[in-house]
Amino acid sequence: MIVADIDGSIAGACHMVKKDLRNILIYKIGCIAFIEDFGVHKDYKRQGIGRKLYDAAVKNAEKWNADSLELNVLEVNHEARKFYEAVGLKPKSTHMEVMLKEKGLVP
């Protein structure tokens, strides 16, 4: 866990995990650093804290000798997507769903 502490207050945090994919045939890489959660408190946004957290995550991924750094972000989270693209992340895949109860597929 990487925490941004400003005068004793948590301004932001990044939780990441190392995923070893060497034994999964569909992947052509060995290890990814995956950001499970990433956020900056609303009172501290637009102050460079997100960038510092991201840079720390990259350094952590490099220490793990990861082949890539990845995360998931909701399509509707435009603010986060804009930030992630600004720091160099690019879309990789599309996650699709059907809401079963809305479609009447599940009682």
* 3-class DSSP string for the chain: CEEEEECCEEEEEEEEEEEECCCCCCCCCCEEEEEEEEEECHHHCCCCHHHHHHHHHHHHHHHCCCCEEEECCCCCCHHHHHHHHHCCCCCCCCCCCCCCCCCCCCC
Q: Write out pLDDT tens, residues 40-99.
A: 999 999 999 999 999 999 999 999 999 999 999 999 999 999 999 999 999 988 888 888
Domain boundaries, the chain: 2-86
pLDDT value at residue 26: 60
Asked if residue 107 has pLDDT above 80, the reply is: no
Asked if residue 105 has pLDDT above 80, the reply is: no
For domain 2-86, the CATH superfamily is: Gcn5-related N-acetyltransferase (GNAT) (3.40.630.30)
pLDDT value at residue 66: 94
pLDDT value at residue 100: 82
Q: Write out pLDDT tens, residues 31-53.
A: 899 999 999 999 999 999 999 99
pLDDT value at residue 101: 76
Asked if residue 23 has pLDDT above 70, the reply is: no
Asked if residue 21 has pLDDT above 90, the reply is: no
Between CA 81 and CA 42 the distance in angstroms is 16
